């Protein structure tokens, strides 16, 4: 732990199955980060409650998302992996921060306005104060760095505002959390239908899930859009072909990629062969993760142990923060 100085905090939403985009866009980076930083990875189960899910299903999703993240290489000995609802200090900090959050600024949040439009019948206070809970999550362990995607930048900006407000009023307790920048490595995994990126809200056939079986992976890849190939050397690749090459770069050897690049350049490429190769390499990549996630998910004793240990470590760290907060605020009467 000694050389791990900076604290990294990231939330994991327990919604849906992890897909290849989540793996290369997020989880793989977490696996690297956990070696160099003091990392806290939190499964955000309380956040999900804003949409009133069936909590029996939520429990299954929490178990699955934990199993999938562990199978991808999150190491519960290196990083603190925990469930939000197991750390009540989160709720305590959330309450204190709510006193510093103005209704007007919360109402202006883009994600809140979107939700109001999508679900006008369920505009609950939890939805309005979502950025406050998210701030409590982020600063609970006094994290300096938060690996976030573009869509989360407004929330991080709000977290910084709440932190500044707190520090200004009560004294410096929290560092201002900064977006962790992976630079070049923040890649987008394209979807298989040639448009946009893989996402759980997209066409299910265009996204490869880490839980997909071999046949399904094969089927999805063979269905990917292609054409009859380039007709002149040096012809630019259409988007859907660029995407296939991008996917190949993720899971195939550099030699294999080079072989198909050369075939493209000489107009001799056979997309059927390319997709067969990509499917084989993808199966080789996803298969072991799927099997591992499956066996972890069956082992509820192990999963519960991971959650319990994670919660204990997270609570130790969170209670230190809360102690500092209370001292700064003068909420220490004995
Ligand atoms: P989804 O888009 O499927 O709803 P989330 O919004 O839950 O996924 O994203 C979880 C993490 O995975 C985020 O860090 C996000 O940036 C990353 N991510 C999601 N899809 C992709 C993708 N196609 N390529 C790269 N990263 C992605």
Active site residue 249: no
More reliable by pLDDT, 63 or 1: 63
Q: Which atom of ligand 1 is nearest to the CA of 199?
A: 3
Tell the residue nearest (CA) to atom 2 of ligand 1.
199
* Nearest one of 205, 196, 292, 291 to 239, comparing CA atoms: 196
pLDDT band for position 3 (50/70/90)?
very low
pLDDT value at residue 4: 58
Tens of pLDDT, residue by residue over 20-57, are 999 998 999 999 999 999 999 999 999 999 999 999 99
- State which of 16, 28, 149 you would mutate to test the pocket of ligand 1, scoring each by most atoms of that ligand within 8 A of its C-beta: 149
Check pocket membership of 13 for ligand 1, CB cut-off 6 A. yes
Tens of pLDDT, residue by residue over 90-145, are 999 999 999 999 999 999 999 999 999 999 999 999 999 999 999 999 999 999 99
pLDDT band for position 70 (50/70/90)?
very high
Select the CATH number that applies to the domain covering 204-293 from these four: 2.60.120.560, 1.10.1740.10, 3.40.50.720, 1.10.240.10. 1.10.240.10
Report how far apart, in Å, the C-alpha atoms of 10 and of each of 42, 133, 325 are.
6, 13, 21
Strands 38-43 and 178-179: unpaired
Tens of pLDDT, residue by residue over 247-269, are 999 999 999 999 999 999 999 99
pLDDT band for position 1 (50/70/90)?
very low
Strands 38-43 and 7-12: parallel
Q: Where in the chain is the domain with CATH 1.10.240.10?
A: 204-293
Locate 27 and state its tokens: 């989880």
Tens of pLDDT, residue by residue over 169-222, are 999 999 999 988 766 556 789 999 888 899 988 778 999 999 999 999 999 999
Q: Which regions of the chain does DSSP assign to beta strands (E)?
A: 7-12, 38-43, 80-83, 145-146, 178-179
User: HSE-up of 104 (CA within 13 Å, CB side)?
Assistant: 0
Active site residue 200: yes
pLDDT value at residue 204: 84
Check pocket membership of 4 for ligand 1, CB cut-off 6 A. no
pLDDT value at residue 268: 93
Task: Give the C-alpha separation, 151 to 148, whole Å.
Answer: 8
pLDDT value at residue 181: 72
- Just give the CATH number of 3-180+299-329: 3.40.50.620
pLDDT value at residue 292: 98
* Residue 114 CB neighbour total at 10 angstroms: 10
Active site residue 115: yes
More reliable by pLDDT, 334 or 2: 334
Query: SS3 for 9?
Result: strand
pLDDT value at residue 151: 67
For the whole model, what pTM was predicted? Answer: 0.93
pLDDT value at residue 200: 87
Distance in Å from the first CA to the final CA of the chain: 33
Locate 81 and state its tokens: 């992996």
Q: Where in the chain is the domain with CATH 3.40.50.620?
A: 3-180+299-329
Task: Give the C-alpha separation, 157 to 134, whole Å.
Answer: 11
Instruction: Quote the mean pLDDT of the chain.
Output: 94
Check pocket membership of 28 for ligand 1, CB cut-off 6 A. no
* Residue 315 CB neighbour total at 10 angstroms: 18
Name the phi and psi angles at 138, rounded to 5. -65, -40
């Amino acid at each position: 732990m000694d050389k791990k100085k900076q604290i990294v905090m990231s939330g994991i939403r327990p919604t849906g199955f992890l897909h290849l985009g989540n793996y290369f866009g997020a989880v793989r980076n977490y696996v690297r980060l956990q070696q160099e930083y003091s990392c806290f990875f939190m499964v955000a189960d309380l956040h999900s409650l804003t949409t009133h899910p069936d909590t029996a299903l939520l429990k299954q999703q929490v178990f699955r998302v934990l199993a999938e993240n562990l199978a991808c290489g999150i190491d519960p000995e290196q990083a603190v992996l925990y469930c939000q609802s197991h750390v009540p200090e989160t709720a305590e900090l959330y309450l204190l921060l709510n006193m510093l959050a103005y209704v007007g600024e919360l109402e202006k949040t883009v994600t809140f306005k979107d939700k109001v439009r999508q679900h006008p019948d369920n505009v609950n206070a939890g939805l309005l104060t979502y950025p406050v809970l998210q701030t409590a999550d982020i600063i609970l362990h006094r994290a300096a760095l938060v690996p976030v995607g573009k869509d989360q930048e407004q929330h991080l900006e709000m977290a910084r505002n709440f932190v500044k407000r707190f520090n200004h009023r009560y004294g410096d307790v929290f560092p201002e959390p900064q977006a962790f920048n992976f630079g070049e490595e923040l890649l987008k995994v394209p979807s298989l239908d040639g448009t946009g990126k893989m996402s759980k809200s997209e066409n299910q056939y265009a996204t490869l899930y880490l839980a997909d079986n071999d046949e399904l992976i094969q089927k999805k890849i063979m269905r990917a859009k292609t054409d009859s190939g380039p007709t002149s050397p040096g012809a630019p690749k259409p988007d859907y072909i660029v995407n296939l090459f991008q996917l190949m770069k993720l899971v195939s050897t550099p030699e294999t990629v080079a072989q198909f690049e050369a075939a493209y350049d000489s107009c001799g490429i056979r997309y059927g062969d390319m997709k067969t190769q990509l499917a084989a390499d993808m199966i080789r990549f996803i298969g072991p993760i799927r099997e591992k996630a499956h066996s972890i998910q069956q082992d509820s004793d192990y999963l519960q142990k991971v959650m319990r240990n994670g919660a204990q470590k997270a609570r130790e760290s969170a209670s230190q923060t809360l102690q500092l907060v209370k001292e700064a605020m003068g909420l220490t009467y004995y």
